[in-house]
Structure 1
């Protein structure tokens, strides 16, 4: 049985930690190290690995310090990342300890962007947010659309663990475009006072974003 932990970081980032019954952990997109180290120490967690979705510094900035602190930790990510890590090239799975993740190539935000799925959790980085998707910086809009269509095929109960807290601003934008949409209005009312709106659920996202 896996347990999900959410660590707010930087301005609006989330660093995700997934633990198993032995309190071993996988860290996803550590944009900074200090809050992760503090959380690990407080909860007596043993980190096994780090998964990186893409090369932006707010997702990788804590890797070197964490690697220095936990020297046996394994780090994985796409080959667009300029760090001494294990590159996931043409791999559709990665196993770390007893954790098994499907590796999904989702270009668009960046060309090498990866997402990681360990049922029911999807670590979508900056590809899929709640009520929106990431900016297209390096890829094409068609690539982003194709990537979202890939994620849409996951089970409806998939929990979307995105890397930023953008839900309210995404919903506000959606409401400007679709002012009479009941799904958007109801969800905005539901989460408007929540400091953390993630993870969201894929079935809900299909109704909110029509992707």
Structure 2
């Protein structure tokens, strides 16, 4: 059976995810203990592991409190262990780990940070991308380069279109406004923005196919200027988003 995903709003605009399957429950990222523990109590209270995508405080700061309450193990990128809470399992980008009864791939997705990873649950058609691929956007390049982020997005875009992308924040208002400013004739984009604004659907998750149709960073080749490469178009769009005040 595919894993079940519970989306939890944390802080002002973060998402955390509880995943249940194969007799296990795991948490992806730990922004805020209260909402996560409350939701966990409602689904049985057991937590086997916390999977960390990257070292930023709004994704790891609740780890100590959640571990104290549940005894969960902490898993994260071993290459970034010096910036993460103490790890019970140091993962290696590219490896496959058994999580919730399925073989989950740890995908290297630098750009937002150099140690960022994503978690792909292929049997359940899920990918947890945090601040790499985001709903109608991508993370700001705090540490990595445009080339690194474009490679990361291209790697994620190669997954099946029916994969559900579970990203790290509800930035749909700002991301949607920027996307519309550079892709104004995109009917799928307008429909998605309207549905989120009206409360008919959440900001995240969304299928990868929908992201490919509405996310300007994945659409960099289509939005490229004449004689502009996909990478150059992506870099221009990312710089444009950094200065966007719409």
Counterpart in the other structure of 2:43: 43
- Residue 179 of structure 1 deviates from its aligned partner by 2.1
Counterpart in the other structure of 2:183: 178
Contact 2:92 2:106 in 1 (8 A): no
- Residue 97 of structure 1 deviates from its aligned partner by 5.5
Gaps of 5+ in 2: 221-246
Is 1:118–2:121 an aligned residue pair?
A: yes
Give the structure with the larger strand fraction: 1
Find the residue that maps to 2:48 and give its secondary structure.
Answer: strand
- Residue 21 of structure 1 deviates from its aligned partner by 5.8
Counterpart in the other structure of 2:228: none
Greater alpha carbon shift after TM alignment, 200-209 vs 182-191: 182-191
Contact 1:101 1:118 in 2 (8 A): yes
Give the structure with the larger helix fraction: 2
Q: What does residue range 67-146 of structure 1 map to in structure 2 within 5 Å?
A: 67-71=67-71, 73-78=72-77, 79-80=79-80, 81-85=83-87, 86-96=89-99, 98-119=101-122, 120-146=125-151
Instruction: Indicate how the Cα distance of structure 1 residues 68 and 186 shifts in structure 2: closer, same or farther if over 3 A, else same.
Output: same
Greater alpha carbon shift after TM alignment, 93-102 vs 59-68: 93-102
Counterpart in the other structure of 2:212: 206
Contact 1:106 1:147 in 2 (8 A): yes
TM-score, normalised via structure 2 length: 0.80
Is 1:153–2:158 an aligned residue pair?
A: yes
Counterpart in the other structure of 2:56: 56
- Residue 183 of structure 1 deviates from its aligned partner by 2.2
* Count of aligned positions: 209
Counterpart in the other structure of 1:28: 28
Is 1:16–2:17 an aligned residue pair?
A: yes
Instruction: Indicate how the Cα distance of structure 1 residues 51 and 45 shifts in structure 2: closer, same or farther if over 3 A, else same.
Output: same
Instruction: Indicate how the Cα distance of structure 1 residues 183 and 97 shifts in structure 2: closer, same or farther if over 3 A, else same.
Output: closer
Equivalents in 1 of 2:25, 2:102: separation in Å? 9
Greater alpha carbon shift after TM alignment, 85-94 vs 104-113: 85-94
Contact 2:126 2:163 in 1 (8 A): yes
| Residue deviations 1:2-55 (CA, integer Å, cap 9, x gap) | 111011000100110111264x31100011212111111122142111100000
Contact 1:131 1:171 in 2 (8 A): yes
Larger radius of gyration: 2
Contact 1:48 1:96 in 2 (8 A): no
